[in-house]
Amino acid sequence: MSWRTVLSRAWQWFDYRVILPGLARLPLPVGALLAQWRGLFNGWLDLEWRSLSLQQRFVYDATYAAQQQLCPQATPQQWRRQTRQRFVVNSREEWEASLFLRYPVEQFKAASTVYGLQEWLVAQRLGQPMVLLTPHFDSFCMGIVLLGLHGLKVHAVSSAVVEDPRVHPAVRRFYWQKYRGMERYMNGGLIRHQEQDNRHFYRALQQGEAVVILADLPTPNQQSLVVPFLDQLRCMASGPLRVAQKTHSLVGAFVCLHERTGQYRLMCTPLRSLDAELPARSFVPLYAFLDAYIHRYPARWWAADLLRAYHNAT
């Protein structure tokens, strides 16, 4: 094992077992400030657990290239600033995840504003299943928690990529704790890896509950969900379409914006039934909604490095 690998593994252990839990125990303003500094440090050295797991740092360069595509009229200085800000947003999101088990986040409900959720609550009371889309954008996990705090029973789809043996055990433990912490606020809803327990989500929808699926995942599969997204006709993962079709679910989307420490703005779209003739058409306004927020706040899309993996529909 090379000295670089030893140093990388030691840093990940210290970061995810000492720094993040420690920040979650500090007063909120102090923890938020230090999380911002952590993000600036990570951006300076291009530190991100996926890069360190693969022993190939790619997030900074891929994010910079994405900012060039998203903001073609900006200057190199602005692209660099937005790329560094991506690391700050990601660090804050990880700090928020550490709060779920260590801080009474119920108090964030009163301090936050929510738009459009009432329709979703009524639909659930009527037993209508819902497939809800959101991207790796800003404080999306806090958004799921806020859905639960406002009364929605919600499940969320995760990925087994965090269980890859190349991922440091401290990172795997962090994600396990993050998901268990979120479940405390989801009204009985669960977070499960789609590769390991996909049936769980079908059962939940058949019972009239809500399932959150990440919307910004690309796919090379020909049977993809083709929608206008981020200035191109994109091939996106077809999971949301497939699940909604099989369970006759309504579909919607949301984003959660961080406004200041402990205060968020949750924006929910109207629910839509699947188009009988062309079901994918029902997702077009949902992706337009997400597209608008990513273009408005490009640095908050902390999965912007995915853009290089998107396939355009031809």
- Residues 258-277 pLDDT 10s: 999 999 999 999 999 999 88
In sequence order, which residues have a C-beta less than 8 Å from that of residue 17 and are 6 or more positions away?
170, 173
d(CA 303, CA 299): 10
Averaged pLDDT for residues 162-187: 96
In sequence order, which residues have a C-beta less than 8 Å from that of residue 197 and are 6 or more positions away?
none
Model pLDDT, residue 219: 81
Confidence band for 313, pLDDT divided at 50, 70 and 90: confident
Neighbours of 128 (CB within 10 A): 18
d(CA 290, CA 135): 8
Residue 92 has pLDDT above 70, yes or no: yes
Residue 83 has pLDDT above 70, yes or no: yes
Confidence band for 179, pLDDT divided at 50, 70 and 90: very high
In sequence order, which residues have a C-beta less than 8 Å from that of residue 189 and are 6 or more positions away?
148, 153, 154, 155, 156, 183, 204, 209, 210
Residue 221 has pLDDT above 80, yes or no: no
The per-residue b/e assignment along 280-296, b for 16 or more CB within 10 angstroms, e otherwise, is: bebbbbbbebbbebbee
Q: Does residue 196 sit in helix, strand or coil?
A: helix
Confidence band for 164, pLDDT divided at 50, 70 and 90: very high
pLDDT per position as a tens digit, 97-148: 999 999 999 999 999 999 999 999 999 999 999 999 999 999 999 999 999 9
Which residues face 235 on adjacent strands? Answer: 226, 311
In this prediction the pTM is 0.95
Model pLDDT, residue 196: 85
Largest CA distance in the chain: 59
- Report which DSSP code applies to 19: I
Residue 223 has pLDDT above 70, yes or no: no
Query: Do residues 57 and 46 lie in contact, with contact meaning Cβ atoms separated by under 8 Å?
Result: yes
What average pLDDT is seen over the chain? Answer: 95
- Residue owning tokens 């402990």: 262
- Per-residue CA distances from 143 to 63, 69, 224, 239, 286 (Å): 23, 27, 26, 21, 17
| Burial of residue 36 (number of CB atoms within 10 Å: 0-12, 13-18, 19+) | middle
Q: Does residue 192 sit in helix, strand or coil?
A: strand
pLDDT per position as a tens digit, 24-77: 999 999 999 999 999 999 999 999 999 999 888 999 999 999 999 999 999 999
Put the strands of the sheet holding 191-193 in their side by side order: 113-115, 263-268, 250-260, 130-134, 210-214, 154-158, 191-193
What is the torsion angle, in degrees rounded to the nearest 10, for the CA atoms of residue 175, residue 181, residue 184 and residue 187? -40
Q: Does residue 198 sit in helix, strand or coil?
A: helix
Query: Do residues 215 and 223 lie in contact, with contact meaning Cβ atoms separated by under 8 Å?
Result: no
